[in-house]
């Protein structure tokens, strides 16, 4: 298949691009490098030293003989170029990772709330609109989040996207219908994923678009078989209070002997998936596209659930690092249960990598290798969900808004090389 991978430079997009290229697909990455830009703004870098886009593509060619094509483009604002690219390449499928994906970052300032909504909703809508405009019948595979369902207890396992309900008609008869599961976003970032769902339902109904929405759990791990082939192919690894995902953050803290910061009681239950399974799920979703006219296919892309304090205890047992219960900057339930149905991927043959101590050791080894690059002051999460939460945090604001307005672009100076 010929594949467009929007956001293919990111934490999930990069290993997916390599994996699908290794499988023999023709891969075109489209990315505006905004994530590298945000690194500069937040004064923190990926724990692993990621190579420039040009270097990444060159290393892949040298390691495997395969070519990954690259287009630097902002999907949220460069609509006409997007249409031109779709015309020129006519991809069979488009995988969409191109969004601002950190909940704490999306709650940081009014400017970043607006950026997150403008960027995420526009990337989704521009893609859908451009496919219709360019008359390209590509299967859209979008990365959503388990967070669209919210984390309040419903008392039952979360179904895959649709909820079966009974309604009473005017004739008094009761009928069973499937509705999109009600949304309950916990941040502005999660709210954008809820809006995406409505846009997908509309374009599937109105234009017969073939769309798969993957409600993904929190990703942990860093390397996949392909990213481990060459140091220049290494995947990014975020550990800071905005972008670091919980287990990866705990492992960084453990390597530094920095007490594991559990927010509140740590009673929040979340869904998780290892990076290698994420990549496999996307491959499975590509192979099982919905037909034209079918409703949006929704998968729960998560393989296990854990309470945050259970994860902290797991890391504590393995490393001896103490646990520090700190104020929770989020506006959320103190404790919640969570059961997730994920039968569709299991039925398609997914054999999940479960979280166990051996695998955590692999991540710990990566952390120890690059320990010198860690900036301790970037570890705490200082984005407060409301003013009331803000006043309870005794930490300085995380970023200097003056810097944000004029970000340094050094990280992007590599783009010119891509022409070679």
Q: Is 16 in the site for ligand NAD (CB under 6 A)?
A: no
| Nearest alpha carbon to residue 295 among 121, 144, 160 | 160
DSSP-derived pairing of the beta strands 211-216 and 297-301: parallel
Answer yes or no whether residue 116 interacts with ligand NAD by CB under 6 A: no
Q: Does 200 bind ligand NAD (CB under 6 A)?
A: no
Q: Supply the minimum distance, in Å, between the C-beta of residue 246 and ligand NAD.
A: 9
Among 214-222, 284-292, 305-313, 381-389, which window interacts with ligand NAD (CB under 6 A)? 214-222
- Judged by CB under 6 A, the residue of 75, 82, 254, 281 near ligand NAD is 75
Say whether residue 143 binds ligand NAD (CB under 6 A): yes
Q: How far is the CB of 407 from ligand NAD (least distance, A)?
A: 13
Measured in residues, the chain has a length of 420
Cβ proximity to ligand NAD, 25 vs 35, nearer residue: 35
* C-alpha span between 341 and 160 (Å, rounded): 6
Question: Active-site residue 193, yes or no?
Answer: yes
Contact 161, 181 (CB under 8 A): yes
- Measured torsion, CA atoms of residues 231, 232, 237, 242, in degrees rounded to the nearest 10: 160
119 is a contact residue toward ligand NAD (CB under 6 A): yes
CB of residue 269 vs ligand NAD: minimum separation in angstroms? 15
Place of tokens 């892309």: 301
Q: Given the rule CB under 6 A, which of 9-17, 45-53, 127-135, 252-260 is the region that contacts ligand NAD?
A: 9-17
Q: How far is the CB of 357 from ligand NAD (least distance, A)?
A: 21
> Among residues 12, 158, 260, 364, which is the contact residue for ligand NAD, using CB under 6 A?
12
Q: Which stretch binds ligand NAD (CB under 6 A): 72-80, 202-210, 318-326, 384-392?
A: 72-80
Q: Does residue 33 belong to the site contacting ligand NAD (CB under 6 A)?
A: yes
Position 276 contacts ligand NAD (CB under 6 A): no
Figure out which of the listed residues 4, 10, 187, 241 binds ligand NAD, where binding follows CB under 6 A.
Answer: 10
- Please give the residue whose beta carbon sits closest to ligand NAD in the complex: 10
Given the residues 105, 149, 189, 203, the one annotated as active site: 189
Nearer to ligand NAD, 54 or 322 (CB): 54
Specify whether 72 is catalytic: no
Is the CB of 31 or the CB of 45 nearer to ligand NAD?
A: 31
Answer yes or no whether residue 123 interacts with ligand NAD by CB under 6 A. Answer: yes
Q: Which two tokens stand for residue 281?
A: 């799920």
Residue 35 is a binding residue for ligand NAD (CB under 6 A): yes
Tell me if 42 contacts ligand NAD by CB under 6 A: no
Tell me the angle at which helices 275-287 and 13-22 cross, rounded to the nearest 10 degrees.
Answer: 60
Active site residue 192: no
Residues serving a catalytic function are 145, 189, 193
């Amino acid at each position: 298949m010929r594949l467009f991978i929007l956001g293919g430079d990111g934490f999930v997009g990069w290993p997916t691009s390599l994996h699908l290229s290794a499988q023999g697909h023709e891969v075109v990455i489209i990315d505006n490098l905004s994530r590298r830009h945000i690194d500069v703004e937040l004064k923190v870098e990926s724990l692993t030293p990621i190579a420039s886009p040009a270097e990444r593509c060159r290393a892949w060619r040298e390691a495997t003989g395969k070519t990954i094509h690259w287009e630097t483009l902002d999907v949220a604002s460069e609509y006409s170029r997007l249409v031109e690219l779709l015309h020129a390449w006519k991809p069979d499928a488009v995988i969409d990772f191109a969004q601002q994906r950190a909940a704490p970052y999306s709650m940081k300032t009014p400017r970043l709330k607006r950026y997150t909504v403008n960027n995420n909703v526009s990337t989704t809508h521009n893609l859908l609109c451009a496919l219709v405009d360019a008359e390209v019948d590509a299967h859209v595979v979008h990365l959503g989040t388990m967070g669209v369902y919210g984390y309040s207890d419903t008392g039952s396992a979360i179904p895959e996207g649709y909820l079966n309900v009974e309604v009473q008609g005017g004739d008094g008869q009761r009928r069973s219908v499937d509705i999109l599961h009600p949304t309950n976003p916990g941040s502005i970032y999660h709210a954008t994923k809820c809006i995406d769902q409505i846009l997908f339902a509309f374009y599937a109904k109105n234009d017969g678009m073939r769309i798969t929405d993957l409600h993904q759990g929190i990703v942990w791990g860093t390397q996949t078989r392909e990213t481990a082939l060459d140091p220049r192919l290494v995947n990014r690894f975020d550990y800071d209070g905005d972008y670091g995902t919980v287990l990866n953050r705990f492992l960084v803290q453990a390597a530094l002997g920095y007490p594991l910061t559990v927010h509140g009681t740590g009673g929040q239950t979340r869904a998780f998936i290892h990076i290698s399974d994420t990549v496999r799920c996307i491959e499975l979703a590509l192979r099982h596209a919905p037909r034209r006219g079918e409703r949006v296919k929704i998968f729960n892309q998560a393989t296990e659930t854990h309470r945050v304090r259970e994860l902290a205890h797991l890391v504590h047992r393995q490393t001896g690092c103490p646990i520090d219960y700190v104020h929770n900057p989020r506006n959320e339930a103190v404790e919640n249960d969570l059961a997730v149905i994920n039968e569709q991927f299991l039925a398609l043959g997914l054999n999940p990598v479960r979280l166990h101590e051996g695998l955590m050791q692999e991540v710990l080894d990566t952390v120890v290798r690059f320990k010198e690059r860690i900036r301790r002051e970037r570890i705490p999460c200082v984005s407060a969900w409301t003013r009331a939460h803000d006043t309870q945090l005794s930490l300085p604001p995380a970023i200097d808004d003056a810097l944000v307005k004029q970000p340094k672009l050094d990280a992007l100076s590599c783009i010119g090389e891509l022409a070679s």
